[in-house]
Every structure is written in C-alpha cells, then in structure tokens.
Amino acid sequence: RSLKQRHRDCQIVRRKGRVYVINKTQKKFKARQG
C-alpha cells in the first residue's frame, strides 16, 4: 500500500486511512491512494 517516491522532495502523508504524496517543489505533482 506504499506509494513510490518519485522525487526526493515528496512527502508521504497518511490521513484517515488515505495516503497522500505532497511535493513542495513541484505543486503539480500530487498523488492520492485509498
């Protein structure tokens, strides 16, 4: 269930059973799973 980190600046955040990938350097890069 883990998301692959495509960029080093990405952060994996788990909220309410959902997994989010947030990239501060690239705002366009976002991913959601769950």
Spatial separation of the C-alpha atoms in residues 28 and 2, rounded to whole Å: 20
- pLDDT value, residue 33: 55
Q: Whole domain around residue 28: which residue ranges?
A: 1-34
- pLDDT value, residue 19: 75
Total structural domains within the chain: 1
Tell me the three state secondary structure of residue 24. Answer: coil
The secondary structure of 1-34 as a DSSP string is: -PPP-SSTTEEEEEETTEEEEEESS-TT-EEEE-
What does the radius of gyration of the chain's CA atoms come to, in whole angstroms? 9
pLDDT tens digits for range 1-34: 455 555 555 667 777 887 777 766 665 556 665 5
Residue in 7, 14, 9 with CA at minimum distance from that of residue 32: 14
- pLDDT value, residue 24: 65
User: Are 10 and 21 in contact, with CB atoms under 8 Å apart?
Assistant: yes
